[in-house]
Structures are given as structure tokens and as C-alpha cells.
Homo-oligomer: A and B are copies of this chain.
């Protein structure tokens, strides 16, 4: 009796179709401007049906965002699945996040909403839980890698891996957010190339975290 199983598959399929439609509309219009009617039309369903699958517009938005998290996680896994030294992999993580920013800008923007609970008015506990675990998976990957860098003697043992991850992330993320919304402004007003700034600051932070012995390896690679 495979009927319940088939129904479950169909339900899952419909959820995906709704996400596809929502993704298109949200990417084009953003959370505020997109309407549930538009998404329903794009999904070739009625608005009421959307609410059978997602509790609110914000939940639907986060549903799409989780896709973006998964993509980033996969890119991180791939970037660290080489046989290079750990310290090089860590550097690659930074480059990968920047590549993600360039190639998946719309997903990158969605993270903002997730990260700022003050913007949430209708997010369900369940959806928030899903997002949190996706988020944790990524942090864990980064922190574990930094820990390995410490264990292998390339990163100073005085560095706390979680703190280090937060610093690197805050810095790069902060600058990428400005690149996203005000790159031109900074260029015109201050004559600053934000991409260069980010690379500089990341290099700076990176440098201070390395042990003396590791410094040569990285220099010779990059």
C-alpha cells in the first residue's frame, strides 16, 4: 500500500513548487514588495493553498533562504574537501563566501532578514528552528576547520576558534553588506574600492592569527 508514501512525495513536491515560485518573486521584488497573490499566481495556485504549506509570508521567505544556506554549506564543503593544508582551506572559505556573495546575491540578502529578529513579525517557531540548525551547521564547519588549524600548529593556540570565526565573518559580512547597497556611494564619496578594502582587512586579520611558521606557507600560496 504505497498511497500514503506517494501522497507524501506529492506534498513535498508541491512545497518545492511553491518555493520555486516564491524564490522568483522574492528575488525580483524583495520581501516587502512581493505579494502573496503574485506568488500564488506564479505557482499557479490560489493564495489559500500557499497557507496550507507555509504559515506566513515570512515563513515562505525563510523557506527560500534555507535553500541559500544549503548552497553556501555545499560550497563550503566542496571548498574544504581538497587535500590542501588546513590553513589554505581556511583561506579558501573566505574566498568562497565572497564568491557566494557575487554569484548568489539574492540569497545573501535574505540572510539579513533571518539574522535580525527585530524584522520578524510572523515567523513561526518551526521555521526559525530549521533556519537555526542550517545556520549552526555552517558555523560548525568553519569553527571545526579553524580548530584543526590550531591543532596543526598553523593558527596561534591563543586564538579561540569560535571567536576567530565570528571576527572573520563579521568583518567580511559587514563590508559585503556595504558593497551590496552602497558600493557606488563609497567609491564616489570616499574614493574607496570596497572589494580591495575587504581583501586587505581579511588579510590583516588572517595574518595576526597565524603562527610564525605558518605565515610563509600562505604567502607562498597566495
Give the B-binding residues of A (Cβ under 8 A).
Answer: 30, 32-33, 109, 112, 115-119, 121, 136, 139, 143, 160, 162-163, 166-167, 169-171, 173-175, 177-178, 180-182, 186, 189-192, 194, 196-197, 200-201, 204-205, 207-208
Contacts and interface: CB of A to CB of B under 8 A. Distances in A.
B116 A197 contact: no
A109 B115 contact: no
Contacts of A174: 169-171, 173-174
Nearest to A109: B118
A190 to B, nearest CB: 4
Given A166-B178, A192-B163, A201 B136 contact: no
Contacts of A208: 204, 207-208
A65 B22 CA distance: 33
Contact of A204 (B30, B169, B173, B205): B205
